[in-house]
Amino acid sequence: MGTGVSKEADGGSEGTKDRLDDDDHQAGGQLYVSLKMENLKLTTHLVPHVYGSVPLVGSWDSSKALSMERESVSMWEISFVVPPNHETLDFKFLLKPKHSDAPCFVEEGPSRLLIGGALGEDARLALFKLDNGEVLEYQVFVKADRVSPFDLAASWRAYQDNFRPSAVRWIPDVSINSAPQTGGENGSSAGLELDLEHYVVPAPSTSAHVYAANMTENPRSLTSGSGGSSYSSKGMEVIVPDSSKVFQSSGMVESKSVGTFSPLQKQDSQRGLFVDRGVGSPRLVKSSSSNIFSSDLNLGTGTKNSMPAAAGAVAAAAVADQMLGLKEDRHLAIVLVGLPARGKTFTAAKLTRYLRWLGHETKHFNVGKYRRLKHGANQAADFFRADNPEGMEARNEVAALAFEDMLSWMNEGGQVGIFDATNSNKRRRNMLMKLAEGKCKIIFLETICNDKSIIEKNIRLKIQQSPDYAEEPDFEAGLEDFKNRLANYEKASSTVYEPVGEGSYIKMIDKVSGHGGQIQVNNISGYLPGRIVFFLVNTHLTPRPILLTRHGESQDNVRGRIGGDTAISEKGELYSEKLANFVRKRLKSERAASIWTSTLQRTILTASPIVGFPKIQWRALDEINAGVCDGMTYEEIKKNMPEEYEYVDNSSRKKDKLRYRYPRGESYLDVIQRLEPVIIELERQRAPVVVISHQAVLRALYAYFADRPLKEVPHIEMPLHTIIEIQMGVTGVVEKRYKLMD
């Protein structure tokens, strides 16, 4: 029943008094009074109260004071009705600790008088002196309206109707004068057990230490029944189907104006290029050979789009690359170069994850996986000697086969292939450039590490994780074999390893150390190569945790409303205290950690009890914009916007929730686009970060770390009052979950 705040700097109370004097003709009228206090410095552990004479409270006993309700991050409010014969009230404000019986703090100065709904001229500030000598200053605002008994009764009925039990949670939206819970669950005194593992809950099965090469593209040409290239037991026979036949058999239509192919069904003489901008409905771009536009497209779930499912500027750049560039510029091969145990595979996996998350069709092709499938995993170090012609020929054959597989995948709609192998001499790289000629653009990505301690650590991880040593029971024997293999590449007297100096390349020098390093770039141009360089500049392998959590339960969560900017509920406040206790214990030795929130008050309030760490507000972390539906329940959407509700509630939105936009709002793809700077900054950080945000935003962030397909983003479970800890380091990304409350 609260009313708006009147914040005129002067004359506010006089204006209220004049208005009430003019309304004296309303016989039987009563005063509806709203008192508000504002303090821009958050002090969530102290709750403002009011106590005083009849009829406001009826007692000067501070234990019976009325609690004010939080209206916003910095504003507290209490509303009441004053009968006509009690228009002069005598009262004071006081502050009470929220979760303890410690003494309260009564405001300085004489009692306040509220006469006719107006405070005295000198009553705009409330000062409280704390035990430590600190003085808290609150701004005081008052608004009073004279209402008839009939209007008052109607307002009360509306109040009861609007705050009925929620249809979503079936619990009261508002609890009036409810007693606080007692016992171990209430307040910081409950705390957390010393063993944080008490709160661990099972994480998805995919979150574990996984050898990155095992997650790469499966060798299609070495698998029976694969169409495309084939393998002959007498030797390596690479069969590449004629490109024109591939496109004709898959229903592709050639657009002669730009020299590209599109997955459109031929419809008489109609031809066009389908451009998926990542949002909205499919559209056609007319080609020079087309005289008619057709928007009646039948794109089944099995149809592969030639455009990446990206949004906004990302899609615009992709459209320009595909429509204006040559064919080889529309496909990009990132060819890794470097000695073993230099972080190539991990870098490739990380880059693949980033590009997929942005919406670019990207796959990681690991030549070692091809080699193990064809020649077995138990190859001794001699197999990798430069003076072993059989070994050299075998390794070149599987490299050519993997590269041809990558080109075939690109012809089917792939955009960026990450080709992961040592590629350590010019002869091998010249072979790859000849295979790519006219088909894709190559950028060499060379990783160089001069830190012997890091190399030793990487070698040991390789022995533990690589399938090459899965059947070697003796760790030391495997370690010796791998060092011999490495020595075969490092022989200074041979041309086994030749640093990249040709073509377009990116060199990462000592980046894995986490102490800066260097990046050298040569002949790099275009939107996507530029994004790749920017990502690699900011990435490193320093281990550190990233904690993701939703804000504590908000008032709109309870009411089943979309979006909004309400404060947190009592349950949400309890979670904020538990979260602060958790962060204090989990990050007690991490003085460089930071707390990131959105600009919405429910995340700011959740973070407010956390002390000792800097707090940063990101507008990019704000919840998905629900547009004109913001603050509404689904029932209200159904009532007020039936046509939109039909789409919101039907199966078509559920099938493509990724691209769905509320009117004048955002889609999940829009959220991903605005989160890219957040991802880059998270990659750049070397200390732990606690991200307190919202469901849709955290779904998108989690999808990046967990390498989940974009289509799954809107359906990822992101429960309230649960912390997801993402551990980033040289072994990849590992997840752990802590559930602090039900």
Would you call 551 a catalytic residue per the annotation? yes
Q: Which two tokens stand for residue 570?
A: 């009592």
Query: Is the domain of 45 the same as that of 92?
Result: yes
Per-residue pLDDT at 363 exceeds 90: yes
76: helix, strand or coil: strand
- Residue 458 domain flag: yes
Per-residue pLDDT at 244 exceeds 70: no
Tokens 């962030």 belong to 701
CA 172 – CA 714 distance, rounded (Å):
28
How much of the chain is in helix, strand and coil states, percent to nearest 5? 35, 20, 45
- Residue 80 domain flag: yes
C-alpha closest to that of 723 among 736, 732, 714, 734:
736
Q: How many whole angstroms from its chain centre is CA 465? A: 29
Query: Is the domain of 606 the same as that of 464?
Result: no
DSSP state of 61: -
Domain count, the chain: 3
Which residue in 87, 321, 397, 420 is the catalytic one?
420
**Contact (Cβ atoms closer than 8 angstroms) between residue 308 and residue 361:** yes
Angle at 454 between CA 452 and CA 459, to 5 degrees: 95
Which residue in 321, 361, 446, 449 is the catalytic one?
449
Query: Is the domain of 451 the same as that of 529?
Result: yes
- Residue 142 domain flag: yes
Q: What proportion of the chain, given as a percentage, has pLDDT over 90?
A: 29
The pLDDT value recorded for residue 29 is 63
Confidence of residue 582 (pLDDT cuts 50, 70, 90): very high
According to DSSP, the residues that pair with 736 across neighbouring strands are: 725
DSSP assignment of 391-443 equals: HHHHHHHHHHHHHHHHHHHHHTT--EEEEES---SHHHHHHHHHHHTTT-EEE
CA 39 – CA 76 distance, rounded (Å):
9
579-610 per-residue burial string, b: 16 or more CB within 10 A, e: under 16: bbbbbbebbeeeeebbbbbbebbbbbbbbbbb
Most confident of 121-130, 142-151, 474-483, 522-531: 522-531
Per-residue pLDDT at 255 exceeds 50: no
Query: Is the domain of 523 the same as that of 618?
Result: no
The pLDDT value recorded for residue 232 is 36
The pLDDT value recorded for residue 245 is 38
**What average pLDDT score do residues 506-532 get?**
85
Q: Please tell me which residue, 260 or 564, carries the higher pLDDT value.
A: 564
Q: Please tell me which residue, 381 or 663, carries the higher pLDDT value.
A: 663
Q: Please tell me which residue, 184 or 95, carries the higher pLDDT value.
A: 95
Per-residue pLDDT at 714 exceeds 90: yes
**Domain CATH number, residue 458:** 3.40.50.300
Per-residue pLDDT at 135 exceeds 90: no
Would you call 666 a catalytic residue per the annotation? no
Q: Exposed/middle/buried for 247, CB within 10 Å: 0-12, 13-18, 19+? A: middle
Tens-place pLDDT, residues 48-82: 988 887 666 667 888 888 888 877 777 888 887 77
Q: Which two tokens stand for residue 43?
A: 């002090």
The pLDDT value recorded for residue 116 is 67
Per-residue pLDDT at 309 exceeds 70: no
- CA torsion 16-21-23-29 (nearest 10°) is 90
Per-residue pLDDT at 281 exceeds 80: no
The parent domain of residue 620 ranges over: 545-739
Q: Please tell me which residue, 456 or 490, carries the higher pLDDT value.
A: 456
Q: Which two tokens stand for residue 732?
A: 């990849």
- Residue 172 domain flag: no
Phi, psi of 408 (to 5 degrees): -65, -40
Angle at 414 between CA 316 and CA 223, to 5 degrees: 170
83: helix, strand or coil: coil
Query: Is the domain of 616 the same as that of 646?
Result: yes
Query: Is the domain of 440 the same as that of 558?
Result: no
Report the 10 Å Cβ neighbour count for 686: 11
CA 466 – CA 368 distance, rounded (Å):
10
Tens-place pLDDT, residues 180-211: 333 344 444 445 655 787 788 887 765 545 55
**Domain CATH number, residue 614:** 3.40.50.1240
The letter for the amino acid at 475 is F
The pLDDT value recorded for residue 647 is 57
Report the 10 Å Cβ neighbour count for 612: 12
Would you call 420 a catalytic residue per the annotation? yes
**Domain CATH number, residue 111:** 2.60.40.10
Last residue of a domain, one of 155, 173, 189: 155
**What average pLDDT score do residues 337-351 get?**
88
Q: Which of 18-22, 205-209, 428-432, 656-660 bottoms out in mean pLDDT, i.e. has the lowest? A: 18-22
Which residues are CB-contacts of 344 (< 8 A; sequence separation ≥ 6)?
Answer: 336, 337, 338, 420, 422, 447
Would you call 449 a catalytic residue per the annotation? yes
Confidence of residue 158 (pLDDT cuts 50, 70, 90): low
**What average pLDDT score do residues 268-283 get?**
32
Q: Which two tokens stand for residue 455?
A: 């190399």
Q: What proportion of the chain, given as a percentage, has pLDDT over 70?
A: 66
- Residue 617 domain flag: yes
Phi, psi of 607 (to 5 degrees): -85, -15
What are the Cα distances from residue 624, in Å, to 200, 342, 699? 29, 40, 11
**What average pLDDT score do residues 608-631 get?**
91
Per-residue pLDDT at 252 exceeds 50: no
Query: Is the domain of 68 the same as that of 83?
Result: yes
Which residue in 551, 573, 630, 676 is the catalytic one?
551
Helices 367-375 and 389-411: crossing angle in degrees, nearest 10, is: 120
Q: Which of 3-17, 282-296, 339-353 bottoms out in mean pLDDT, i.e. has the lowest? A: 282-296
Q: Is the peptide bond before 180 cis (omega within 30 degrees of 0)?
A: no
What are the Cα distances from residue 239, in Å, to 61, 236, 404, 405, 579? 91, 10, 9, 10, 59
* Mean pLDDT, rounded, of the chain: 74
Tens-place pLDDT, residues 435-468: 999 999 999 999 988 888 887 887 787 777 677 6
CA 282 – CA 204 distance, rounded (Å):
34
Q: Which two tokens stand for residue 569?
A: 């509920």
**What average pLDDT score do residues 389-406 get?**
90
The pLDDT value recorded for residue 47 is 87
Per-residue pLDDT at 256 exceeds 50: no
The pLDDT value recorded for residue 477 is 79
Query: Is the domain of 395 the same as that of 506?
Result: yes
Phi, psi of 174 (to 5 degrees): -135, 135
- Predicted TM-score (pTM) of this structure: 0.66
- Residue 718 domain flag: yes
Query: Is the domain of 526 the same as that of 380?
Result: yes
Which residue in 38, 87, 217, 623 is the catalytic one?
623
- Residue 273 domain flag: no
Query: Is the domain of 496 the same as that of 559?
Result: no
**Contact (Cβ atoms closer than 8 angstroms) between residue 732 and residue 346:** yes
Angle at 464 between CA 458 and CA 470, to 5 degrees: 135
| CA end-to-end span of the chain | 31
CA 474 – CA 452 distance, rounded (Å):
23
What are the Cα distances from residue 644, in Å, to 167, 357, 640, 650? 21, 29, 9, 10
The pLDDT value recorded for residue 307 is 41
Query: Is the domain of 456 the same as that of 331?
Result: yes
Confidence of residue 619 (pLDDT cuts 50, 70, 90): very high
Most confident of 220-224, 257-261, 376-380, 387-391: 387-391
- Residue 194 domain flag: no
Query: Is the domain of 483 the same as that of 566?
Result: no
Last residue of a domain, one of 486, 509, 538: 538
Last residue of a domain, one of 120, 155, 190: 155
